[in-house]
């Protein structure tokens, strides 16, 4: 009877150890998948020639303000404080330059239209947004 109890406990311990290892291995696999996704996402960001060009330029916030007034103020307000679109004050603290560029050029957030400024205009607009 003692041997049966010991054998049963050994099997239970082994099952618990296997369960722990499964959790560890699944966690490692998940972390590797997330890391690979982040790497690919970052690689796509830095490989986009338009974004590379924009980020290589030093923007002029005065010109960026003029571009904003013509193209963005109708929805975001004259002072970028929100109207139909959200307030853009401190937006550069909430979003990366890359995501701001993608937001402007993609038009994937209705009702925001797709807008394709030249790299110079986009650099100027980013410079203006960073000052808000």
Contact status, residue 105 vs residue 80, Cβ threshold 8 Å = no
Digit-coded pLDDT (tens) for 21-38 = 677 777 777 666 665 565
Digit-coded pLDDT (tens) for 92-108 = 999 999 989 999 998 88
CA torsion sign for 51, 52, 55, 59 is negative
Q: Which position has the token pair 């209705």?
A: 110
The larger pLDDT score, comparing residue 31 to residue 64, is at 64
Digit-coded pLDDT (tens) for 39-48 = 555 555 567 8
User: What is the distance of C-alpha 9 from the center of its chain?
Assistant: 49
Q: Which pTM value belongs to this model?
A: 0.67
Q: Check residue 83 and report its DSSP letter.
A: S
């Amino acid at each position: 009877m003692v041997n049966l109890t010991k054998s049963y406990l050994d099997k239970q311990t082994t099952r618990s150890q296997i369960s722990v290892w499964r959790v560890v291995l699944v966690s490692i696999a998940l972390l590797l998948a997330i890391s690979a996704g982040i790497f690919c996402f970052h690689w796509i960001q830095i490989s986009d020639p338009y974004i590379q060009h924009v980020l290589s330029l030093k923007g002029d916030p005065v010109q960026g303000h003029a571009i904003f007034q013509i193209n963005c103020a109708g929805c975001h307000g004259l002072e970028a404080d929100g109207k139909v679109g959200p307030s853009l004050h401190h937006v550069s603290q909430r979003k990366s330059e890359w995501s701001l560029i993608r937001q402007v050029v993609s038009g994937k957030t209705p009702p925001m239209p797709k807008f394709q400024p030249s790299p110079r205009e986009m650099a100027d607009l980013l410079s203006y947004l960073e000052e808000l």
